[in-house]
Structures are given as structure tokens and as C-alpha cells.
Amino acid sequence: MSNPKVPDIQWFEDSLKELVKAKDDKEKTSIIDKLRTELFNLESTKKFLGENAAKYFEELSKKRNEKLPAITNYPETEEEIQKIVEEAYKDGNTIVRVVGSGHSISDAIIDKENKKIVLISLKKFNGVEFISDDTVKVKAGTHLNQDPQDDTSNLSNSLNYIINERGYAFPDLGGIAHQTVGGFLSTGSSGGSSKYSLEESVISINIINGKGELKELTRPNDDFFAAGVSMGLFGIITYVTFKLNPNYYIYGSQVSTFVDEGLNSDYQKGCPIDLFGSTNKPQDVPSLYDFFANGSNYDAEYSRLLWWPQTDVNRFTIWKAKRTEVLDLKGFTKPTAPYLEFNEILGSQIPEQIIAHIAYVALNILYLIDDDTTRKIAALILSFFSGVVQQAFQDIWYNGLPMDDKVSDTILPTTFTELWFQIRNADDTNKIMNKLKDYFASGDSATGNNATEIYTTKKSEFWLSPSYDYENVIRIDFFYFLGNKVGDPNEFFEKCCKVFDGFEYRCHWGKYIPDNYKVDVNKYSKYNQWMAIREQMDPNQIFVTQYWRKVLNIEPQKK
């Protein structure tokens, strides 16, 4: 990297130097405490962030979707949506796209190359109607949980809260639940469970196709399974109908464990999961394959691992949970002990996230300096600022399952690339994990300053879901902090994906997809059928962007 612009963080560096000179753990802890206080001291924080921290964070939060044009259409009825589509259909030159909560990369949402684009937000098209006891028809603009970025979204109009109040739940959720129903489904998003999946609750999808016609697609028809994951290319989803599960609580734990200390079912003595395929694995330590495929055997119906692979850090944070079997304890409401990703300061996780933000920026710069002392400083920062580690938690499903829901999109905005691999046995998983291990061992530019998430998902029935046809899956999700002062997410991701050249993987549709990635029938067995239904749904290609044309090999329309 040439001449990176290093921001002024002298005061921070001075404290770190003190830290390295500290003679024992007691002194280190006292310097770290001082550092935390200092970091949170408004003057220092302001000095670092500039005069207006709120403005700084607001600008930062726009980074993920800075290329999105202004939204001009906020339809409130299906008729209004139909009208927009009909006009585009007649015009023949206008592209129509929907933005949900905008959590996907902008390429997945809009068309950067086409000037005539109508961008629709469904934030005024939200609401939930119970059509029978356990069946709910939901407008596609409804958020799963509250989306802090949408001023119209709140707890009482969020889908999960509403169904929970009636005694119902979804089987699973993603790591955050700010998304809209339409956006979550369209990209095949899912949580970390090989046992449960939200998609299985979907029984019908109402969609306005490329001619402006209203279609109701129902299970188990082909067009339903094709449309379930269709990235806005089949039309505009207006309603999704779900058959719900009885609501439940989850309980679980999080531990942090070192990678290089051998294996042991006690996480303090060694890693309790065999991540790479050890030759002398104790019997009570599962292989990673087994941990994902048979999670119930390990109290891990839901799980996710965060790998911090940096020099001198190299540790895994293992989060796992299962459903509780009783709804209350002898008539009492079950107590909650929510999962805390960050320490609370005055009842809020936000102050600690500001500290984490500053720490990530500092790390991003420290990793440019290649020497042992700097690595030790970096390792210490990561150890002290990577959140609350060992803990047990118990919570209502919609608070507990999205473990990252409290991470602020403004303070810690993150972008991702995510590869899904089919795994048939422990050998498959070991090959993937060892490849990744070798890559991370190649240095700081490979590890970056953030974690890599490793999780699983359930086989999907939707034809273009990356887990369609896959009995078991491992997902490698590389994180990139958008507050980094040096580096470029796409360059970082391109290198991460290259590691798996020669492996067969499928990309998450809402995240960065490498340039050489093209989908064809070899990757998805129903690709040809999916393409044929797409053509019927949108004969004039009014939803097709240049990006999706390239990734999915959609030929221009024959005139």
C-alpha cells in the first residue's frame, strides 16, 4: 500500500507505548482502564472524530450504500406499486428496483449503469394481519425487528414483536433482524442453524410481476420455490404469508478459546471443537462438521463462531444456544438474561461500541507497521476490545437469536463477503478450514483487523438459495469494518475469495461477489428452470440490472 494517510492519534499511541512497557498484568489492567476512560472522555473522542461525532457516524453509515440514488417512491398500496411497474413496462427503458433496509451491497439493489431507474422503498407499505390463529400475512416492507435506521420502524410495528405477543415465533433468524421481510427472503438470508430455518415458515408470496400483474405463488409449486430467492428479478414482493411456530425462549453460552493450545472439552484448557482435523482428537470433542450437522448433540441447535486470526490473538469466540423446553417456571415468567455483545455502560452498549470503533481504526493503522512490538500492542487491543466474552444468556427467541442486533450500523458499520460450501463429512470441513488457516498465517493483510464468522445453515427449498440441494453447509463470512482509514473492502474481499479458487462455493446474494463469479447450471441444479420462470415473470427485463445480468448470465432481451 502506498502512502496511506495516517490520521492523528498520537495521544492513543502514547498510551499504547505505556502499555507495552508495563511490567505485570496488574499494571497493564490499570493502563487499559485508564485508556478506556480516556477513550470515552468526550474531549479525546471528539478530537479523534472531529468536532461533530454524530455527523461523522452518520456519514459513515452511508458508506455501505453511498451509491444508492435518492428514493423518490414510497408507495402505500399495491395499486400504486402496480402503476409504477406498468409505466416502466410500457416505457421499455426504465429499471425498477426495491430497497428494503439497504443492508445488501448497493450492486445487489440498484443499477449503477442505467440512468433511468425508479427506486422504490416499501417503508410505507408495512403491516401484519393474522389470517388465522397461527398464520400471518405480512406486507413486504415490514421489518423483522426494529430497524434503527428507519424512522418509521419501532418495536410495536416490528413483525417479530407482533407475532410473539400472540404467542408465535419464527424457527430461526439471522444474526441481525433489522431487515425487511422482502429483502431478507430475496437474498436467501438465514441464521446459523442446520435444524431450523425461517424459509420453511413461508407458505405464499404475493408478487407484482414485470407486466404489473399480481400473482400469488404458493407452496409447493415451482414458481413459489423459484421466486423465494430471486433478488428482485421476478417482480416486487408485496406480501409474504407465514405459518408460525409456538414461541419459545433460547438459552446458551459464549466462550472464547485459543486455537493453538490443543483440543479439550473444557474451553479453558483447549479448543472444544476440532476445527482443523487433529490426529489425536479426544472423543468428547466434536469435529466442526459434527458440531454443525448435529448441533443438538452439543447444545448448539443455533451457533456461530467468530475467528480472530490476528498474530498473537488467534482465538475463536463460540456462541451457541438451544431452545428451552418449558415456557415458564411454575407459573412465573421465564427470566431473561440477554446476551451482551459489548459491556454495558450506564445500561447501554453504545459507549463501548464507540470505543471499539476507535480501537478498530487504530488497529487498521497499526497493522501497517510491521514489527513485533506493534503486533503485541495490536493483540492487546483486540483482546481488550473484542467485547464481552464468557457468558451465559437466556432470552426470548427474537432478542436472543439475532446476537448482533444491538451492534450499531452507524458506529460499527460492516460489509461482508460470504461463501457457502457443501460439506459431506469432516474431511470437507477440514480442507476448507485448513485452507483458511494457511491464508491467515500469511500476514496482517489477510487477517485484517476484524473477525471472520463461521457458521452453518439448513438445506433450502428455494432454488437459488446458496443452500439449495446442500444437506450440510459451512459458511465463511469475512467482515470488513467500513470505518477503516486505509484499505478497500472490495480489494480485501477479492483476496479472501481467491483463497478458495478450485473449491466449489456459492456466494451470499446480498454481500460482495467476486468479479469472476458467474452462476450456471453447474452451481445450481435448477438454474435453467429458474431462468425460464424469470423470463415469464419479467419478459421486458424491467427488473434486470447490469450487475445481475453479469452474475446470473441473463442475456439481453431478444427484440
Ligand X SMILES: Cc1cc2nc3c(=O)[nH]c(=O)nc-3n(C[C@H](O)[C@H](O)[C@H](O)COP(=O)(O)OP(=O)(O)OC[C@H]3O[C@@H](n4cnc5c(N)ncnc54)[C@H](O)[C@@H]3O)c2cc1C
**Contact positions toward ligand X, by CB under 6 A?**
97-104, 108-109, 122, 140, 174-176, 179-180, 182-184, 186-187, 189-191, 231-232, 236-237, 414, 508, 510
The grid coordinates listed for 416 are: 461482508
Number of H helices, E strands in the chain: 18, 19
Minimum Å gap between C-beta 416 and ligand X is: 6
The grid coordinates listed for 79 are: 395499486
3-state secondary structure of 113: coil
Owner of C-alpha cell 406499486: 81
Is residue 225 within 8 A of residue 461, CB to CB? The reply is yes
Minimum Å gap between C-beta 537 and ligand X is: 11
Going by their DSSP bridges, the two strands 245-246 and 302-308 should be labelled as: unpaired
Whichever of 121 and 430 has its CB closer to ligand X, that residue is: 121
User: Phi-psi region for residue 480, left (φ > 0), alpha (ψ -120 to 50) or beta?
Assistant: beta
User: Measured between alpha carbons, how far apart are the two ends of the chain, in Å?
Assistant: 48
Minimum Å gap between C-beta 415 and ligand X is: 7
Distance between alpha carbon 325 and the CA centroid of its chain, in Å? Answer: 28
Alpha-carbon span 490 to 480, nearest angstrom: 9
Whichever of 190 and 257 has its CB closer to ligand X, that residue is: 190
Alpha-carbon span 454 to 276, nearest angstrom: 13
The grid coordinates listed for 472 are: 450440510
Going by their DSSP bridges, the two strands 117-121 and 95-99 should be labelled as: parallel
- Measured N-to-C along each axis, helices 42-49 and 10-21 cross at an angle, to the nearest 10 degrees, of 120
Minimum Å gap between C-beta 237 and ligand X is: 4
Minimum Å gap between C-beta 304 and ligand X is: 8
CB burial class (10 A; 0-12, 13-18, 19+) of residue 219?
middle
Whichever of 323 and 508 has its CB closer to ligand X, that residue is: 508
Minimum Å gap between C-beta 505 and ligand X is: 15
User: Phi-psi region for residue 516, left (φ > 0), alpha (ψ -120 to 50) or beta?
Assistant: alpha
Owner of C-alpha cell 422504490: 120
The length of the chain is 559
Alpha-carbon span 100 to 175, nearest angstrom: 17
* C-alpha R_g of the chain: 24
Minimum Å gap between C-beta 509 and ligand X is: 7
Q: Which amino acid is at 515?
A: D
Whichever of 118 and 176 has its CB closer to ligand X, that residue is: 176
Minimum Å gap between C-beta 377 and ligand X is: 28
Minimum Å gap between C-beta 517 and ligand X is: 16
Give just the sign of the alpha carbon dihedral 362, 364, 365, 368.
positive
Whichever of 190 and 245 has its CB closer to ligand X, that residue is: 190
Whichever of 191 and 351 has its CB closer to ligand X, that residue is: 191
Alpha-carbon span 228 to 219, nearest angstrom: 10
Q: How many CA atoms lie within 13 A of 460 on its CB side?
A: 31
Minimum Å gap between C-beta 455 and ligand X is: 8
Considering only CA atoms, which of 309, 310, 338, 319 is closest in space to residue 389?
A: 319
Whichever of 62 and 281 has its CB closer to ligand X, that residue is: 62
Minimum Å gap between C-beta 24 and ligand X is: 39
Nearest-CB residue to ligand X? 183
Whichever of 276 and 416 has its CB closer to ligand X, that residue is: 416
Alpha-carbon span 110 to 101, nearest angstrom: 13
- Three-class DSSP labels, 344-375: CECCECHHHHHHHHHHHHHHHHHCCCCCHHHH
Minimum Å gap between C-beta 148 and ligand X is: 11
3-state secondary structure of 18: helix
Whichever of 81 and 396 has its CB closer to ligand X, that residue is: 81
Minimum Å gap between C-beta 174 and ligand X is: 3
